[in-house]
Chains A and B, each alone.
Chain A
Amino acid sequence: MRRVFITGVGVVSSIGLGRKAFFDGLARGASGISPVESFDAAPLGRQFAGEIKDFRAEDHLTVAEQRRVGRCSAMSLAAMRMALGDAGMATDELRGPRTSVVVGTTMGEADVIADLDHAWIAGGVRAMRRAMLPKYGSTLLPIHLARAGGAQGMVLTMPAACAAGNYAIGFAADLIRSGRADVVIAGAAEILQELQFSGFVRLAAMAPQRCQPFDLNRQGLILGEGAGVLVLESEDHAVRRNATAQAEVGGYGLTCDGYHITRPHPDAAGSVAAMRLALEHSGIGADMVDFVNAHGTGTRANDLAEAKAMHDIFGDRRVPISSVKSMIGHCMGAASALEAISCVMTLETGLLPPTIAFETPDPECDVDVVANVARRVKADVVLNNSAAFGGYNAVACFAKPGVLPHPATLKRAAA
């Protein structure tokens, strides 16, 4: 059992590309929400999303890579290169079977399947471009990253919908802790695509213009897109190459509501259990937690369940909570990876990202929301909440390096 450190982060988001731009945006409460340009959303009655306008694949990918990938993989590759740069790691240091890649997503290369489908509908089977077919499949995300990074260990996609980032980071840490890998490129990516956008409109879950988690007048979620990639390393590997540990990956909790495919269980039992498990697997009590990065989608069902979970875990102690989704929208599969990177910022700087567009507290959500302006606190330990279609709950714990008990000292019901 070894400690697992985050030694690099890479970001493609609607409030900026790369660590610095992303952190600056979070700190000043920037909004990445804008009218959708990549497809005509107007007939759906909703037009806003956290769409990324300034990402150009050619700035980050080789010509051959640009030919091979869809937009989702392109953003992942760019985020990986930024993360490796941030970690001060050359591709040669990654090469080999002890490096793995684990990527979360909801739909993966959704633009590829959409293009194929639209060609098929319009022109029949022959209209589907043959060269396009092998580009589809969520399987491909880690394959492209492994190729670019030289990883030769496990290449795994974790399609855990809107909790996929925490799933991927948690499992990547497991691979390192259990000795199956020394370095894991872990993260998640998602693109904004017409079908998903329409689906959320049809579920009556989408707000017209703003995402307002925990606000009495919330109107639902706003979709977003992006990629967040982290370099995870075993402590000894990081020490050997003199890398800076930006944060430690603690334990994480997974549960499944087994209740409804899209709605959280109103008693929040699954998310409470996932938060408890994250603490237990980190070897700490709730009293150690300084901040909770909310799942915070801006739907009433989520807000009520999450507020209830906060009370069940922390009792009367008002632990600050905030939702990055108010700034960049709900980036679905990528959400909890981008939010994990936001947690790294909080641990490095003590800065809690604000929940913007917060106007009227909801008396039914009696939680300490970091309203509109970033707040500076002592932040040694943070939790990153996420939940997803399928009744998934995934909560990850991140901490300043060395604060958590060493994983080898933890007693687990291991078998």
Chain B
Amino acid sequence: MQPRVVTGLGICSAIGVGREAFFRALEKPTLLRDLPRQPVESFDASKYPDAAVAEVRDFDAAKYLGDKGLRTLDRLTKLLVVATRLGAVDAGLKKDGTFVAPASSERVGVVCSNAYGSLEAITELDRVAKLEDARYINPAKFPNTVANSASGYASIWEEMRALNVAVSDGNCGALDAVACADVHFGSGRADALLVGGAEAASEALFVAFHRLGMLEAGAALGEGAAMLALETRELARRRGARALAEVVGFGTAFDAPENENQMIFASTDAMSRAIRACLDDAAMRPDEIDLVASGVSGLKPFDSAELGGIRAVLGDGACIAAPKSLLGETLGAGGAMSLACVVGWIQGVAPAAILAGEPRDRIRTAIVTSMGYYGNASAVLVRAPT
């Protein structure tokens, strides 16, 4: 891919909202497992006394968006719209609610990953339909059940009209969003794109993870939205924008399990193929990579397959971080959360959540990896701005 410049970061995460707060928290990292359990805020968890979710705590969308028009928005949408707004402002694409020339509404768009849609909206409307009457479901909330709703609202609120693309590839989606953005830049469809992912905690998501035994097996459910402002070098130069990093390579792979009846599948082969394709795409060698921000989440079979795939390409000494040990499993937003960490580390924040290997004094290049639950894997290569 052509190098795309990261000029801003908008983020709503378990460790902070906004780039500066996020980087500050990243400077003083605490692993989730070392934090005292806090009561769940995003849904009524009174039935689950042991529930722990790495939430965006005290999240108040009105603080960023004003009071108007929030009533029918779900949590997923609010997290994403706030992250999108913060990212555009951080990049200097917008100021005081309007685009700053040469950036314009018609040339800025959104590419957003999400894995499971608004389970909050779907389950709420299902409950009304089953326990009361389908004729009482709130028509203003019905659009929230559609998987691209949050992404669409981001364009409505932020007037980003060049294009709006929602993608879904489980845990790999936010990295795939980077590839989508690259394709659309390549065909001249936009000058700048807010690119990343969002996932919101909900009772349904918690219950599903709990029922599948994933929380008990070591995963920590998280949530949040992270949106990077990506732009063409041309626009970044024209606006004299500050470059935080550059995205220079992408790779993805799918590998099916041999057993016909198997669904869930952790593939070392897909992971290593994705990383090799990513290095090829960036025309870089394994020894040029300073760090890997992995998707390691605490689920043993997936973690070992991912680490195996990384080491098969980058060697046993590779320095590997696990951002999810700080931020939780944010699924469709996961790759974007890791990208946010990598941008911080490239900007001089000391690398944290190191799982293996020794970080170099200065991080100039990093690969972000994500592994899906079904044999899919993706990788993105980020480097310091040139």
Contacts and interface: CB of A to CB of B under 8 A. Distances in A.
Nearest to A158: B167
Contact of A258 (B105, B138, B148, B170): B105
B70 to A, nearest CB: 13
B162 interface: yes
A202 interface: yes
Nearest to B378: A154
A304 B136 CA distance: 30
A114 interface: yes
B185 to A, nearest CB: 5
Nearest to A128: B211
Interface residues of B, number: 86
Contact of A147 (B125, B145, B183, B256): B256
B212 interface: yes
Interface in A102-139: 105-108, 113-114, 116-118, 120-122, 125, 128, 130, 133-139
Among B142, B149, B212, chain A packs the most CB atoms within 10 A around the CB of: B142
Report the interface size class on chain A. Answer: 35 or more
Interface string B284-313: 000000000000000000000000000000
A160 B166 CA distance: 6
Nearest to A135: B263
Given A160-B148, A199-B137, A143 B376 contact: yes
Interface stretch (A78-86, A190-198, A320-328): A190-198
Contacts of A155: 169, 252, 254, 376
A401 interface: no
Nearest to B47: A125
B188 A413 contact: yes
Given A258-B155, A261-B149, A128 B126 contact: no
A389 B149 contact: yes
Given A198-B129, A202-B142, A159 B188 contact: no
A246 interface: no
Contacts of B264: 134
B188 A414 contact: yes
A343 B153 CA distance: 31
B210 to A, nearest CB: 7
Contacts of B165: 158, 160, 167, 171, 254
Contacts of B134: 43-44, 194, 198, 201
Contacts of B211: 125, 128, 130, 133
Given A114-B126, A412-B187, A392 B168 contact: no
B164 interface: yes
Interface stretch (B109-117, B218-226, B341-349): B109-117
Interface in A84-106: 97, 101, 105-106
Contact of B375 (A117, A143, A413): A143
Contacts of A160: 148, 165-166
Contacts of B126: 114, 117-118, 121, 195
Among A136, A200, A254, chain B packs the most CB atoms within 10 A around the CB of: A254
Contact of B125 (A62, A105, A195, A258): A195
B232 A107 contact: no
A138 to B, nearest CB: 5
Contact of B117 (A107, A120, A174): A107
Interface string B147-164: 111011101101111111
Given A134-B212, A254-B189, A146 B256 contact: yes
Interface string A172-206: 00110010100000000000001110111111100
Contacts of A128: 207-208, 211
B33 to A, nearest CB: 25
B135 interface: yes
B139 interface: yes
Given A133-B212, A139-B115, A392-B152, A175 B233 contact: no
Contacts of B368: none
A185 B11 CA distance: 34
Contacts of B161: 255-258, 270
Contacts of A412: 187-188
Contacts of B40: none
A142 B189 CA distance: 25
Among A117, A130, A178, A203, chain B packs the most CB atoms within 10 A around the CB of: A117
Contact of A255 (B114, B143, B162): B162
A142 B6 CA distance: 30
A122 B123 CA distance: 13
A183 to B, nearest CB: 14
Contacts of B176: 154, 156
A402 to B, nearest CB: 21
A152 interface: yes
B254 A151 contact: yes
B50 interface: no
A117 B167 contact: no
Contacts of B41: none
A171 B125 CA distance: 32
A178 B1 CA distance: 10
Given A68-B261, A68-B263, A415 B186 contact: yes
B130 A159 contact: no
29 contacts: A65-B260, A105-B147, A107-B146, A113-B119, A117-B123, A117-B127, A121-B131, A133-B208, A139-B169, A139-B170, A140-B374, A147-B256, A147-B375, A167-B165, A198-B125, A198-B129, A202-B139, A203-B139, A256-B161, A256-B163, A261-B153, A270-B161, A388-B148, A389-B146, A390-B155, A390-B164, A392-B152, A415-B186, A415-B188
Closest 10 CB pairs of A and B: A390-B152, A159-B147, A413-B188, A199-B142, A64-B260, A415-B232, A256-B164, A157-B168, A202-B139, A198-B134
